Amino acid sequence: MSSGPDDERRQPSEPTFADVMNGFSFDASRSSRRRRWGRKRGSETDVVEETAEAPAPAPAPAPPPVVPGPATAPIDMRTLGPEHGGQEGGAAAVRPYAWTRGRTKSGLDLAIETLVSTSQRGHDQMGLLQVEHRAVAELCEQTRSVAEVAALLSIPLGVARVLLGDMAGLNLVTVHQTATSAGDAPDLALMERVLSGLRRL
């Protein structure tokens, strides 16, 4: 190809996006170059400036060698006291989603005000229950609502519903009938008691 006055007219007066991007160096090991675009007496020129290389970072100290310790076994958090990071009940040591094996829906429709208590079968099999069921059974020795169970075990309400639904299916807890579950119409006496209680506040 020949160069002539037409080639000079085709050259853009400012650098293109590709020219700018080619000027960046993303590799720290290479010497970095910076391009400066300017004009010298009416003609366009590239001025390339060499910049000093950045000093290489000091190598990180070698990590200490790994010393194999004694083999560890699963730790029962219920046997540890609070001074070892365990909890008194041990129930909250396991993540809530692990208690329900990832399930979010219960087979039983439990409202937050539904009352539950440990059944006779739950009392008899207390030592044989899984950790999460045992924690709920111990808590429900006194009649409690679903919301109370969730709050006292420090677990989400959905997890408490799934656990209580499972336990009700195994006859480990007794689900008591609530005032609203008796029929479709709300109980007028219950609503009057709630209203009078709200007025007293």
| The length of the chain, given as a count of residues | 201
Q: Which residue has the higher pLDDT, 29 or 192?
A: 192
Q: What's the pLDDT at 67?
A: 57
Under DSSP, is residue 68 helix (H, G, I), strand (E, B) or coil?
coil
5: exposed, middle or buried (Cβ count in 10 Å: 0-12, 13-18, 19+): exposed
CA-to-CA dists, residue 63 to 56, 57, 67, 70, angstroms: 20, 17, 12, 21
CB contact at 8 A, 120 and 164: no
Q: What's the pLDDT at 9?
A: 57
**Mean confidence (pLDDT) of the chain:** 68
- Give the pTM: 0.44
Q: How many CB atoms lie within 10 A of CB 110?
A: 21
Q: Which residue has the higher pLDDT, 83 or 129?
A: 129
173: exposed, middle or buried (Cβ count in 10 Å: 0-12, 13-18, 19+): buried
